[in-house]
A and B are shown apart, each in its own frame.
Chain A
Amino acid sequence: MEFHSPDSWREALEVKAAQPEAVAIFGGTDVMVDLNFDRERPGAVLDLTRVPELGEWGEGDGRLRVGAGVTYTRIISELGSELPGLAMASRTVGSPQIRNRGTVGGNLGTASPAGDALPPLYVSDAEVELASTNGTRRVPVVEFITGPKRNAMRPDELIAAFHIPRAEGPQQYAKIGTRNAMVIAVCAFGLALRPERKRVGACLGSAAPTPVRAREAEEFIESVLDWDSRGEIGDTELRRFGELVGEAASPISDVRGTAAYRTHAVGVLARRTLGWAWDEYRRGE
């Protein structure tokens, strides 16, 4: 097994161009488990923890650009007000030890339907910045994730960053686990209100082969919400929203939970989180 540990982005891309089969590693929360349990024996591993560019974030063209190597801990502490939904999701990831190492870039690379960072990216129409020695391109996250543990990366590409608008309104993230900490999502739900555009983003996690936007539910609730007078949402409408989110699910039954429960629970999370987010909006926070 070859080990590469470039200390610049340029060099990292060159390694990847020369050895497209090299497996990128950052926090190791997926790659190391595969190595430790003899599930994968890649020919080469490409360590990205020494690439300073990946740990940077900044703002430009109205959006944030967050390096793929910004850890969950830093998202919580540095980007909590800019990206509250993502910060809430980050807080549900593993333990402090995991959040200190794990990154959104890793969640994107692994493309697990249970990736906690993904629903917040979906609801904000984030884009993934991919780079190779041939240049960079941006792919909407919804197109980037193509299936369970599959993404649209070309073999010579690495994930450089994601681009995401600063929160325009209240955001929420909720996740079901049978334990009260340290769980992989049985199912999860991300929500973003965008009052200026009168839009709602709703995304299910771990309830389909990929995270899925609940478009019907979004359209339904957008048509119902009284954005200008900030009036209450009726029980019927909240419930309908939850049902429509549940209908967007196409889950499986596995050791973590049954399909029926996932469908049910994600609907409840949708109803509750919408209530919380709307309350926050009404309070003018």
Chain B
Amino acid sequence: MMIEQTEPATPTRERPDAPVTTPGKVGEHTERADGVPKVKGEFEYSSDLWMDGMLWGATLRSPHPHANIWSIDTAEAEEMPGVQAVLTHEDVPGRKVYGMEVPDQPVLAWERVRYQGEAVAIVAADHPETARRALEKISVQYEVLDPLTDPEEAMKEDAPRLHLSGNVLKRINILHGDVAEASASADVVVSGEYEVGMQDQAFLGPESGLAVPDGQGGVDLYISTQWLHLDRDQVADSLGLDPEQVRLTLSGVGGAFGGREDLSMQIHACLLALETGRPVKMAYNREESFFGHVHRHPAKMRYEHGATRDGELLYVKARLVFDGGAYASSSIAVCTNAATFACGPYEVPNARIESHMLYTNNPPCGAMRGFGAVQVCFAHEAQMDKLANELGMDPLELRIKNAVRPGIRFPFGQEVPPPAPVRVILERVGDMPLPEEEEVMGRDLRRLPGGVSNVTHGEGVRRGVGYAVGYKNIGFSAGFDDYSTARVTLSIEEGEPLVRIHTAAAEVGQGLITVEAQIARTELGVERVAVLQADTRVGSAGSTSASRQTYMTGAAVKQACEQVRARIFQKVREEYADEDLAIEDGDIVSGGESVVSLAELLGGEEIEETVEFHHRETEPLDERGQGNAHLQFAFAAHRAVVEVDTELGLVRVVEVATAQDVGKAMNPQALEGQIEGGIAQGLGLALLEEIQIKEGKIQNASFTDYLIPTILDMPSVRAEILELADPEAPYGLKGAGEPPTIASTPAIVAALRDATGRELARVPVKPEQIVGIAEKPPSEPPQPGSRGYSGIGHLDEREEH
């Protein structure tokens, strides 16, 4: 692949100097470089962007999940004072559709809309209120159609086709061993049906950006995203421009978690800017944000596990059905991921897995932290608990007994690479001391289920403990040519050496720029490092997703530093010495003796190297679902302790303990932050978070009704971090961002089951499920305890609906 060296056009906005930092080396605690501007309110997020003469963009969205469009009349809107442009699909000069894997989503809808919230027209005006009023004046004639909202219905032969290609977006079968034979010899068989609701990334900074026309037909886009180059290519395609005419610069990103991998307002803002010749800012509000990005796929999963009497897994059968929603986004990769991880990190000699991804008229789904591994982990871990229960075996022991180990093969045929410390991490969480049992009666309300809402003073509260383990691929899989580019420049500034790092890798809050600086500090022995703002003037870094940036961009930065170092040593060898060279604190050292300072060696010279790092090739799955599909695997185990008010169904999570193998803790505090934050999102899925949809329409597009955990919901986390090096990876590291989100959800639900005895086959678990009522009141009133309100008897006999 070609390394791009596009010359920068005249910048339309002043580029701030990259702050010079003095990072620690790899593995040392290093404060994040953007921490100070962030605490001062000076860090510039995409929604903070502002330019003189700037216009405000707004989007007209379909109120219907499925409809034909007969006409769009913009005349009245165009005539409004203050309105500068009103655009529809007719005004898209290039490709009228976009999409990460399959370009199937209209930039602006024509003929048909396939989900509620689909963009139909856009407006630019001199005030956001003017833009909103103009949207009202656009008249769209819809013929409302019945929405197809059930993936099982969508799969049927006679279902209305939502796309020309049909409704099945992807289907994968994994056939491993001989399930028929294995099932005949199983002593114990457990089965279950599990469901995961639609989770939202709910990043705090809504979609926003500023498009600035360059006056020569091109455009600059300042944007919060996860993958600048993929955005650029899609924007350029739809604008009908060369990629060089579209320059993207990363602005501050208010969280991502997968939700910024697809386009939202990127093309729209650029269209409006080019049409009006003025800068255009678009910023969604929270409600629009729920329509503006893809969500985590809801899933229905049917499982059957067979084992021997002593707990050896013989086979797994699974049928996974995912609701992809109206457009493809990254659903194909999610379908593959789910299929490959369906059995969990266990040795499963025989397996038959079907994974189906369907188009429906529900909101499009795509990437979210955990990417297909989250859904199946909830199911396979529930199955493991069920099996343990059936066998009368300790659930942790059953997991340890069946844990994968290096050398065996996963059901998709790939050999388990070392290290794969599943057994070790399970043992570690098992060995951690449990939080002390405290008297519940009379405890501070804030430490009881319900908090200051004062629902219990200890009545009905029971404790439960649950375990789960999960794993995920790191980096892009299945034959994708995954790479990242880094440019490293060493120069002498104000008499001191300075390393500049330039990549297009999106810092979305995870702390990548700090790690990049640490790598330069480590490799080049230079104290001062500046990480430039990410933009498309350097080659692609790939997406900030799949827990891949520390690995991929980390490797690119490391290799670029190594090449810079080699050139320095070359110079040293020519002029000074050639033995045992090293760079220490800005000095060249040979055999322990300082020979020359970098400042003297380089003078006014700059040494610059650009490296494109590609990871080892992977393979797509074959027709039997077999292949060396993944680059690296990361594992994490969780133990949750909960207190449940069994009579009201309210929960306080007391503690989540985890053991995770990260290969190398690059920046320990930031790593802990990833682990704690990932667990919080897992907790959200376990207990709170679901986009509720009725007939294709979102019922809770707000932070009032889509509830994410508050500081009163999130317990303390006890984390044990293992550093077992992956010999192939830079510094031995493993991607660390996603594993915390995967098994934390099933661990919490397992703890709820432990406390209540209920099956709890769906997340998020609602209070209704915990107390065992759905549409009718309980057949029997709850049994009060000895004093009528000081305890609760058994609810377990009541059926779960």
Chain A–chain B contact at Cβ < 8 A: yes
Stretch at the interface among B170-178, B262-270, B475-483, B770-778: B770-778
Given contacts A238-B789, A261-B767, A271-B784, whether A177 and B450 have CB atoms under 8 Å apart is: yes
Is the CB of B297 closer than 8 A to any CB of chain A?
A: no
> From A242, which residue of chain B is reached at the shortest CB distance?
B781
> From B446, which residue of chain A is reached at the shortest CB distance?
A180
Least distance between A179 CB and chain B CB atoms (Å)? 5
> From B684, which residue of chain A is reached at the shortest CB distance?
A179
- Which of B688, B711, B774, B781 interacts with A260 by CB under 8 Å? B774
Is the CB–CB distance between A92 and B454 below 8 Å? yes
Stretch at the interface among A128-136, A194-202, A250-258: A250-258
Least distance between A222 CB and chain B CB atoms (Å)? 17
Given contacts A178-B707, A180-B451, whether A258 and B788 have CB atoms under 8 Å apart is: no
Is the CB of A2 closer than 8 A to any CB of chain B?
A: no
A274: chain B residues at CB < 8 Å are: 789
Q: Does more than half of chain B's interface fall in helix, strand or loop, or is it mixed?
A: loop
Is the CB–CB distance between A238 and B784 below 8 Å? yes
Least distance between A215 CB and chain B CB atoms (Å)? 20
- Which of A91, A178, A269 interacts with B452 by CB under 8 Å? A91
Q: How far is the CA of A179 from the CA of B692 in the complex (A)?
A: 16
Contact with B along A244-285 (1 / 0, CB 8 A): 001000000111111111011101110110111000000000
- Which of A184, A267, A275 interacts with B788 by CB under 8 Å? A275
Is the CB–CB distance between A265 and B767 below 8 Å? yes
Is the CB–CB distance between A92 and B774 below 8 Å? no
Is the CB–CB distance between B687 and A260 below 8 Å? no
Given contacts A239-B784, A269-B455, whether A38 and B132 have CB atoms under 8 Å apart is: yes
Is the CB of B456 closer than 8 A to any CB of chain A?
A: yes
Is the CB–CB distance between A178 and B688 below 8 Å? yes
Q: How far is the CA of A232 from the CA of B692 in the complex (A)?
A: 45
A174: chain B residues at CB < 8 Å are: 450, 453-455
Residues of A209-249 whose CB lies within 8 A of B: 232-235, 237-239, 242-243, 246
Contact with B along A169-191 (1 / 0, CB 8 A): 00011111111111110100000
Is the CB–CB distance between A261 and B771 below 8 Å? yes
Is the CB–CB distance between A92 and B777 below 8 Å? no
Least distance between B440 CB and chain A CB atoms (Å)? 13
Stretch at the interface among B391-399, B515-523, B698-706: B698-706
Is the CB–CB distance between A181 and B452 below 8 Å? yes
- Which of A179, A242, A269, A275 interacts with B707 by CB under 8 Å? A179
Is the CB–CB distance between B767 and A178 below 8 Å? yes
Is the CB of B710 closer than 8 A to any CB of chain A?
A: yes
Q: How far is the CA of A263 from the CA of B778 in the complex (A)?
A: 10
Category for how many chain B residues contact A: 35 or more
- Which of A91, A184, A254, A268 interacts with B704 by CB under 8 Å? A184
Is the CB of B727 closer than 8 A to any CB of chain A?
A: no
Is the CB–CB distance between A179 and B710 below 8 Å? yes
Stretch at the interface among B40-48, B572-580, B646-654: B646-654
Given contacts A178-B707, A260-B776, whether A239 and B788 have CB atoms under 8 Å apart is: yes
Contact with B along A71-85 (1 / 0, CB 8 A): 000000000000000
Is the CB–CB distance between B449 and A180 below 8 Å? yes
Is the CB of A97 closer than 8 A to any CB of chain B?
A: no
> From B652, which residue of chain A is reached at the shortest CB distance?
A180
The count of residues in chain A whose C-beta lies closer than 8 Å to any C-beta of chain B is 50
Is the CB–CB distance between A175 and B454 below 8 Å? yes
> From B701, which residue of chain A is reached at the shortest CB distance?
A37
Q: How far is the CA of A235 from the CA of B789 in the complex (A)?
A: 8
Q: How far is the CA of A132 from the CA of B451 in the complex (A)?
A: 41
A264: chain B residues at CB < 8 Å are: 771, 773, 777-778, 782
> From B132, which residue of chain A is reached at the shortest CB distance?
A38
B648: chain A residues at CB < 8 Å are: 176, 265, 268-269
A253: chain B residues at CB < 8 Å are: 775
Q: How far is the CA of A88 from the CA of B452 in the complex (A)?
A: 8
Is the CB–CB distance between B453 and A92 below 8 Å? yes
A265: chain B residues at CB < 8 Å are: 648-649, 767
Least distance between A112 CB and chain B CB atoms (Å)? 12
> From B450, which residue of chain A is reached at the shortest CB distance?
A180
Is the CB–CB distance between A243 and B781 below 8 Å? yes
Q: How far is the CA of A274 from the CA of B460 in the complex (A)?
A: 16
Residues of B659-715 whose CB lies within 8 A of A: 687-688, 692, 699-700, 704-705, 707, 709-713
Least distance between B485 CB and chain A CB atoms (Å)? 41
Least distance between B712 CB and chain A CB atoms (Å)? 4
Is the CB–CB distance between A37 and B709 below 8 Å? no
> From B460, which residue of chain A is reached at the shortest CB distance?
A268
Q: How far is the CA of A258 from the CA of B770 in the complex (A)?
A: 13
Is the CB of B15 closer than 8 A to any CB of chain A?
A: no
> From A256, which residue of chain B is reached at the shortest CB distance?
B705
A177: chain B residues at CB < 8 Å are: 450, 453
Is the CB of B287 closer than 8 A to any CB of chain A?
A: yes
Interface centre among B687, B710, B782, B784 (most CB of A within 10 A): B784
B residues neighboring A (CB under 8 Å): 132, 285, 287, 449-457, 459-460, 647-650, 652, 687-688, 692, 699-700, 704-705, 707, 709-713, 766-768, 771, 773-778, 781-782, 784, 786-790
Known: A91-B452, A258-B773. 12 other contacts (CB 8 A): A178-B687, A180-B710, A181-B713, A238-B784, A239-B784, A243-B781, A246-B777, A255-B699, A257-B767, A261-B768, A263-B777, A264-B778
Enumerate 11 A-B pairs (CB-CB under 8 Å) in ascending A order.
Answer: A178-B687, A178-B766, A180-B449, A180-B713, A182-B710, A238-B788, A253-B775, A259-B775, A263-B777, A265-B767, A267-B781
Q: Which 3 A-B pairs have the closest CB atoms?
A: A275-B789, A180-B451, A235-B788
